[in-house]
Structure 1
Amino acid sequence: MCKHLFIKVLLIIIFNFNYLIAQQEVIKLDYLLTVSYTPEILNYRNTTLIVSDKFSYYDVDYSPKSKGSLKESYDQILDGQVDKKEYFSEILIDRNQLILKENTFDRRGTKEFLSIQEELPKMSWKIESEINIISGYRCHKAKLKFRGRKYTAYFTNEIPVTIGPWKFNGLPGVIVSIYDETGIYKWELKKIKETQSINEKFKSFNGRSEKFKKVSYKEFDKNLIDAKLKKLRVAKSRTDSRGFTVRHSFSTEQWLEPSNEFRSKTNFSM
């Protein structure tokens, strides 16, 4: 009986020790996201990526950090003012189950808080021979086509983390710099440090997720486009009733995900 008790206690100690070790293997990466809808205006957003062996957590700080005369984002001007607390995005990835969940406020469409779930997108990177030194790291160049955008990335395998900011994943190392060819979006790694645990981020994310409306990524995209088309129909009916012939349209080309595996169309009009 004592022998079995000893083995049980020993197993608990080993389990807790391994758990603590795993909790220490957490890296915090700070990225600066630059968004530029027009060349004269640069909007800076601090973003954070916390990575463990099981999960990664990414969030965006939407505090005003813009350069230029335009203080609000392009989306806010198009869709009207949105409460600051509703202007946010955070992503949690289960790296074992390959599931991605995003908590966000759908400011373009339904004006609802959503928890959007999808399978972790598979990204077909093309690693090239070019090597650059960026921020002191020896970086390899890679190309990617993903949901309507073409990206160039520089990653280093000096840091063995195979996940990047936002939804980027699949490279054999940390993304140090990545930008899309239109020049609208760019992420740059600014700081790396060890942190303690992802548990608090995980718990708070799930707490918010439970309160939000749950949809698949496919449903989210369809509902968003439908909401935008509804606005076009309302605007068209108003101008038609006044005897005017006006073309109403919108484009997704400046969105972070202009198209996807469910929708290739990016320009809509009526």
Structure 2
Amino acid sequence: MRYLFFLLFTVLNFAQEKATLMTYEVTYNTELPTTKNGYLYISNDQKKTIYYTENINKNNESKEENIDVALKFESGKKQFNYFDYQKDTLITRDDILKESVLIKEMIPDLYWNLLDETITTNNVVLNKATCYFRGRNYIAYYSTNIPIKAGPWKFQGLPGVIYTISDETKRYNWVLKKIESTEYNFSSEMSNTEAEIISIKEYAKRKFSSQDLDEKIISRLPRGVKIVDQKTFRTGFEIKFEWEE
């Protein structure tokens, strides 16, 4: 028994890798304003990263006047973005209504425009960069003092650690709060899921197919609930994909 316990402990401990943990404060100025903690784990060789968020404050009050009931469907599963740079693969877990799926794609190319503009925050000089990605324009400030090319969500490829990034409308915002050394099992999330694996094109089709989406929403409404003014529009981080440009 003692030998089995030692063997199990050794296997579990071996799965842990030395890593850097970057904690971001994430603010969504959306219809339901939300503040989250974002956690980015980066392997020491920067060949793997994983990012996920956890709520720390959320306003659930809806002010929509044209909808009798505000609906939000979630699977309850942890959503994440897992980069494997050796395999040039990005795997994202997201929800389509209450169904949790894994979206597999090649690591997207983010074409950063590095600008000759700087700001200083807490005695750290930050360089400005911009990029357009899947329907939104983003503004980032980064520091080359720490050569980490990874960032929160799907942001990556800058020549230094991202301190702040937001879309130009300030709808989505990330601010770096802390960097620390830690350990992490990068295979833990991938080994503990039974979600369906789909392509990024299939994800977009399911997520934004208005006819299928409307039918699914209506089928899940409580009896007697009426939508007065039903509008179909895209929302979220990604609202236009490469093949749609």
Sort the TM-score into its range (normalised by shorter chain): 0.7 to 0.9
Contact 1:102 1:115 in 2 (8 A): yes
Please state how far the C-alpha of 1:146 moved relative to its aligned partner.
0.5
Alignment of 1:168-179 (within 5 A): 168-179=155-166
Structure 1 position 44 matched with structure 2 position 35: yes
The residue type paired with residue 237 of structure 2 is: L
| TM-score under structure 2 length normalisation | 0.78
Structure 1 position 222 matched with structure 2 position 214: no
Q: For residues 217 and 23 of structure 2, what CA distance do their matches in structure 1 show?
A: 42
Q: For residues 159 and 92 of structure 2, what CA distance do their matches in structure 1 show?
A: 24
The residue type paired with residue 65 of structure 1 is: N
Please state how far the C-alpha of 1:97 moved relative to its aligned partner.
2.0
Q: For residues 112 and 235 of structure 1, what CA distance do their matches in structure 2 show?
A: 13
Aligned length: 216
Q: For residues 154 and 221 of structure 1, what CA distance do their matches in structure 2 show?
A: 29
Structure 1 position 79 matched with structure 2 position 71: yes
SS at match of 2:30: strand
Structure 1 position 30 matched with structure 2 position 23: yes
Q: For residues 216 and 40 of structure 2, what CA distance do their matches in structure 1 show?
A: 40
The residue type paired with residue 103 of structure 1 is: R
Contact 1:27 1:50 in 2 (8 A): yes
Please state how far the C-alpha of 1:188 moved relative to its aligned partner.
0.3
Q: For residues 78 and 215 of structure 1, what CA distance do their matches in structure 2 show?
A: 28
SS at match of 1:161: coil
Q: 1:96 to 1:29 in 2, by over 3 A?
A: same
Q: For residues 154 and 125 of structure 1, what CA distance do their matches in structure 2 show?
A: 12
The residue type paired with residue 224 of structure 1 is: K
Contact 2:28 2:172 in 1 (8 A): yes
Contact 1:134 1:176 in 2 (8 A): no
Higher helix share: 1
The residue type paired with residue 222 of structure 1 is: K
SS at match of 1:220: helix
SS at match of 2:192: helix
Q: 2:4 is matched with which residue?
A: none
Q: For residues 213 and 49 of structure 1, what CA distance do their matches in structure 2 show?
A: 24
Contact 1:235 1:248 in 2 (8 A): no
Alignment of 1:109-188 (within 5 A): 111-188=98-175
Q: For residues 80 and 118 of structure 1, what CA distance do their matches in structure 2 show?
A: 26
Q: 1:73 to 1:131 in 2, by over 3 A?
A: farther
| Unpaired segments ≥5 residues, structure 1 | 1-19, 237-245, 265-270
Q: 1:203 is matched with which residue?
A: 187
Contact 1:64 1:71 in 2 (8 A): no
Q: For residues 116 and 208 of structure 1, what CA distance do their matches in structure 2 show?
A: 16
Higher relative contact order (CA 8 A, sep 6+): 2
Q: 1:56 to 1:223 in 2, by over 3 A?
A: same
Q: 1:65 is matched with which residue?
A: 57
Q: For residues 82 and 206 of structure 2, what CA distance do their matches in structure 1 show?
A: 22
Q: Identify the match of residue 212 of structure 1 among 195, 218, 229.
A: 195
Quote the RMSD (CA, aligned, Å).
2.8
Structure 1 position 104 matched with structure 2 position 104: no
The residue type paired with residue 88 of structure 2 is: L
CA distances 1:115-148 after superposition (whole Å, capped 9, x unpaired) = 1101111000001111111244211000110000
SS at match of 1:250: coil
Q: For residues 71 and 178 of structure 1, what CA distance do their matches in structure 2 show?
A: 27
CA distances 1:186-212 after superposition (whole Å, capped 9, x unpaired) = 00000000112x3x2x22211234x11
Q: For residues 131 and 92 of structure 1, what CA distance do their matches in structure 2 show?
A: 30
CA distances 1:209-235 after superposition (whole Å, capped 9, x unpaired) = 4x1101011111111122x32244689
Please state how far the C-alpha of 1:42 moved relative to its aligned partner.
3.8
SS at match of 2:29: strand
Q: Percent identity?
A: 27
